A = this chain, B = another copy of it.
Amino acid sequence: MTPQSEDFSAWYNELVIQSQLVDRGPVRGTMVIRPYGYRIWELLQADLDRRIKEAGHDNACFPMFIPESYLKREAEHVEGFSPELAVVTIAGGKELEEPLVVRPTSETVIGEYMAKWIDSHRDLPLLLNQWANVVRWEMRPRMFLRTTEFLWQEGHTAHLDEADAMRETMWALQDAYAAVARDLAAMPVVPGEKTPGERFAGAVRTYTIEAMMRDGRALQAGTSHYLGTNFAKAFEIQYQDEAGRLTLAHTTSWGMSTRMIGGVIMTHGDDKGLVLPPRLAPYQVVIVPIGRKEQGEEAAAEARRLGQAIRSMGIRVHVDDNRPQLSPGFKFNEWELRGVPVRIELGKRDIDNGVATLARRLPTVEGQGKEQIPLDKLPELLPGILAEFQRFLYDRAEAFREEHTADVDTWDAFAAQVAGGWARAFHCGRTACEDEIKAETAATPRCIPLDAPQESGACVKCGQPSAYGKRVIFGKAY
């Protein structure tokens, strides 16, 4: 496999296929998510779905074919999505009178039904979510990061006023997305607001969580939009307030997608392959029995017993006991490639000594390699070992990001910094100035961090007074 240092893109493209996460789809830009990749999605989905439900949202399912006329009702929205649409023109053997767009996102169709379902202030807030596939025709497709079809959840909510809609927007950003990224994916993220030039088509304010990949680039890992009354106007989403006045609702939308899997790969992976955070690992532990013939049989039997004991601790464990044609060394490499957090090796001599050899995918302590652990203690030790590994990955990623982020106040320092990381800089807030920065360095404003200190200065590019009252994070992005 190509090393990261040589060609990060090639490393990624080879790894996603070799680790059996995905295969290239039959149509350009599509992907087949294989069981190993899909299981990661299921684990993320289960946790995020629980958070969404606990916060009072209901899942629903809206049609994926949207009449072209719906999209046109919100002017900025259709302008933003038009170039990326896939269109059904033939159905049931006939040309359709009105072409159907395959949803790129569902604000329009859901807006239409919100208008139907909302009459009174008592119907608000209306808190909906759906798990769905969406289609955006991508020019530069990349597995997980930009595929023409991808899986996501999209939350869509309607509220009495701006204050309530903004509370929802920030809940999705912080309590759902930042929390899932941190707790499950071990990805430290920076929550912040997008600059006007990077807003969602039709939004009043767009918020994002931005993560740093191991090549120093940024990945937008989830977005949450306050849509104001833009879609409410376009679709007549209105309610009677307590005094009987007809009032426009304020809406939000927010989404997290299979792109997160790409983020996990590029946050933790190395030249040996994937490194999966335990909470998203299909197999948290793999046991490889060692030995041939009778000794191998004995080791396999003991591995199965141990697997059962580990499974009863609520750990996802796989016993690699039915591939006698492969050597232990081959299996070790394969499970490293596939990013299993903990490998347990078990041979006849280990069993006789009442121990097993445990190898973490990465040493959590400098120089710490394999260690021997008494067989009878192993199951109860593993939850702690896995939790420590999860924490280690988070801390390592955070340290990496800090090392590759700096405040810069000159153009030369800016250009040097965004070549391999993130720059925190003052910016004038003009979209034309952002465009110049992008043309010269390929860097874009990633976000205005929520928790940045109040500061002001001269725009790092044009010298005009800074906007936003804060530094903006710039970086090259996926």
Contact = CB atoms under 8 A, between A and B. Distances in A.
A93 interface: yes
A100 B90 CA distance: 10
Contacts of A33: 60-62
B39 A59 contact: yes
Given A35-B60, A91-B86, A109 B26 contact: yes
B86 A58 contact: no
A122 interface: yes
Nearest to A82: B93
A135 B88 CA distance: 12
A137 interface: yes
Contacts of A66: 26
B89 A89 contact: yes
B91 A87 contact: yes
A113 B23 contact: yes
Contacts of A61: 32-33, 38, 41, 151
Main secondary structure of the interface of A (DSSP, over half): mixed
A286 interface: no
A408 to B, nearest CB: 37
Given A30-B65, A65-B149, A60 B38 contact: yes
A31 interface: yes
B137 A64 contact: no
Given A88-B86, A139-B92, A35 B58 contact: yes
A43 to B, nearest CB: 12
A292 interface: no
A27 interface: yes
A363 interface: no
Interface string A54-87: 0000111111111100100000000000111111
**Size bracket, chain A contacts:** 35 or more
Given A23-B116, A88-B88, A88-B102, A63 B30 contact: yes
A133 interface: yes
A164 interface: no
Contacts of A85: 90-93
Nearest to A92: B137
Given A83-B92, A91-B87, A62 B32 contact: yes
Contacts of A65: 27, 30, 86, 135, 148-149
A63 B26 contact: yes
A59 B38 CA distance: 7
Contacts of A83: 92-93
A34 interface: yes
A93 B88 CA distance: 12
A42 interface: yes
B87 A31 contact: no
Nearest to A109: B26
A128 interface: yes
B90 A90 contact: no
A183 interface: no
A32 B113 contact: yes
Contacts of A88: 86-89, 102
14 contacts: A23-B113, A27-B67, A27-B100, A35-B58, A38-B61, A42-B59, A65-B86, A65-B135, A85-B92, A86-B90, A87-B90, A91-B137, A93-B137, A122-B325
Interface of A: 23, 25-27, 30-35, 38-39, 41-42, 58-67, 70, 82-93, 99-100, 102, 109, 112-113, 116, 122, 128, 132-133, 135, 137, 139, 148-149, 151, 323, 325
